[in-house]
Amino acid sequence: MNRQDRLRTLLREYIESLFVAVLIALILRFFVIGAYKIPTPTMWPSLLAGDFVFAYKLPYGLRFPFGATKYFAYGKPEHGDIVVFHYDVAPTTPHIKRVIGIPGDEVAIHNKKLWINGQESQYEVIKSEGEFTWVKEEFKGFQHELIWMDRVPGQDFGPEVVPPGHVFLLGDHRDVSEDSRYWGMLPIANIEGHVFLIWLSLDWQDPMMGLPQPRWERIFKLL
């Protein structure tokens, strides 16, 4: 084999490898793992504005590009899952909230405290800074932190039963989040994936030389 033939062979192998790599990346992007940016603080303190997250999409079905129908969905949301979803008010924009109620749960909120199936969730105050209070909430065996704003009165809800094929969602920054208290239960078919990792976090509040500062402690943080 002469030099020109070797170059052709090398170029062909390179193009084939590149094509396979791009194909695998597209398959992962559309069907397995999605990447999303957190634009607002409605999931603070779990997720901050400027976090970039990965969501596992496969359990909630395969949706081909530019199609609306899902296939082979087998996943069921669990209490406490952070999920990416779309809803009718803004069908083209992905949103991220926490699953609070699953089908059959009776959900109510009184004085900012969550009740599920007639049982009040457990609360522990972690700290207070200014108008914000960090609280640990425990319900259905799941614990997580949330934020209350001391000067904002709580909005009561329910009780309402989550219908079949739906979930009840809340943001962790309870007093600023628009969620199922406002636009109702979400069809499970609208869920796109389960958020599992923060892979990058950038703070635009105090930029250096016009560039955001990385939040190193949040990079590659599992949720």
- pLDDT, residue 57, reads 84
pLDDT of residue 223: 87
The dihedral formed by the CA atoms of 110, 97, 162 and 102, expressed in degrees to the nearest 10: -110
Q: Are 174 and 146 in contact (CB under 8 A)?
A: yes
Q: Are 155 and 167 in contact (CB under 8 A)?
A: no
Mapped to the 3 state alphabet, what secondary structure does the chain carry?
CCHHHHHHHHHHHHHHHHHHHHHHHHHHHHHHEEEEECCCCCCCCCCCCCEEEEEECHHHCEECCCCCCEECCCCCCCCCCEEEEEECCEEEEEEEEEEEECCCCEEEEECCEEEECCEECEEEEEEEECCEEEEEEEECCEEEEEEEECCCCCCCEEEEECCCCEEEEECCECCCCCCHHHHCCEEHHHEEEEEEEEEEEEEEEEEECCEEEECHHHCCEEC
* Domains of the chain with CATH codes: 33-222 (2.10.109.10)
Would you tell me how many other CB atoms lie within 10 Å of the CB of residue 15? 10
pTM for this structure?
A: 0.80
pLDDT of residue 109: 93
User: Which residue numbers in the chain have pLDDT < 70?
Assistant: 1-32, 62-73, 88-92, 207-210
State residue 59's pLDDT score. Answer: 79
What is the pLDDT, as a whole number, of residue 146?
A: 93
Structure confidence at residue 72 (pLDDT): 60
